[in-house]
Structure 1
């Protein structure tokens, strides 16, 4: 999407600046290749999105199972009830339950879920449950421990994200606000003193570049957004 937007913006810049469109068509293959590479990365983007969504609910899913197990519910019943709840985690619980209903042993079904889960934290919860089943100990003990570990990790991630967000905000203020404002002010003053012609097309190009910078920073902030829900 960003490649297409850049392509359209470049086309209008060429039109405004009255630059020959032959240069535009020379650059067109580069944007086509860039868009093709973007499409190749789409599956990874989908997996990454699912990972973020599942990471937001991983503690809720773990605590849900822990409450059910501590209340005396069998693990299979807890998984069934989890598959009937709301949220992204219910879809993964539903896949486990469907696998078990097809005749797969619960340990093997959990192994498959651990293997194909996009979230490392959710994978750890399922792994601890499966290990407890294989060893024959109370599921609630390792489940409680792994939930506490994930909670502490997410608290640390929040602290790191706060520092990273401050740096990004400072960089955004510098690149997208301070430098363009000072640069345009100096250019207008110097241009007025030297009698340089300042055309409207130049301001349109500057506005287009600023819009592109804003879109880039919006994309950066979205990709760095922390997937945590305590």
Structure 2
């Protein structure tokens, strides 16, 4: 399943989802980029069908929460606007998640491909230098344990077995893949094969570029982590401590009482800031150290 909040599979429940295609086609005008994302994830899924399923799933999920609130507050008619607000909030929240999730998944896939690309290039270089043909090298790397990159290369091998030339199969994958370095590798290999160039030189050049890029990304990440750790200590520990100590001193001198709610807000805000910074550090990791 592309999104964890999709209740109706766009492939298996297509006949049922088709009844809501109007909403899917309307959403597709607002978010046309999702068509490219779905093409990368699963070409069988049509964008308007997926969006129809996303709309219907969000509606069903959103009904559940105000229904619980209605049962819990049975007889309180004045809370209808709260139930409506909860429904609208949950509906748009889940709908947005369903819309952006495919793009997040594609980006995660690209990071994994970039992470494994250097190993694939080294593997192919060793094989080509030892006299192995490019087609055989593609078969070996596609069946090796290089994660998503190996799965993508299996498509190239499959196309070649169907009768496509090596250059055509590589170019076809380059048009659909989102990984910048993988796309560059495929295009340059395809071009080199069309003009009769040396494939080994192409792989060596790209491998050098990938390694230099990974080194730069690692240095940038370490610099960013140092700054974020300083912010983590400052906003997550120092500022709340200073606020509480200052509050105690001011309340003792000026006879001002700080409410428990204010203290709770400060502590919860501190925890949220810490969680945000930890999450940001985690998500900004370059692919090379994942």
Q: TM-score, normalised by structure 1?
A: 0.80
Render the CA deviation track for 1:139-159: whole Å, top value 9, x for unaligned: 101111121122122222222
Aligned to 2:9: none
Aligned to 2:134: 75
Name the CA shift for 1:61/1:165 in 2 (closer, same or farther; >3 Å). Answer: same
The Cα shift of 1:35 comes to: 4.4
The Cα shift of 1:96 comes to: 1.4
Pick from 246, 250, 268 the counterpart of residue 208 of structure 1.
268
Aligned to 1:66: 125
Aligned to 1:47: 106
Q: What do you get for the CA RMSD once the two structures are aligned?
A: 2.6
The Cα shift of 1:137 comes to: 2.3
The Cα shift of 1:72 comes to: 0.7
Q: TM-score, normalised by structure 2?
A: 0.65
Q: Is the 8 A contact 1:62 1:125 kept in 2?
A: no
> Aligned partners of 2:91, 2:244: CA distance in 1, in Å?
33
Pick from 79, 88, 98 the counterpart of residue 158 of structure 2.
98
Render the CA deviation track for 1:35-73: whole Å, top value 9, x for unaligned: 433332111110111111111111111111111111111
> Aligned partners of 1:53, 1:36: CA distance in 2, in Å?
26
Aligned to 1:169: 229
Name the CA shift for 1:27/1:204 in 2 (closer, same or farther; >3 Å). Answer: farther
Aligned to 2:217: 157
SS at match of 2:288: coil
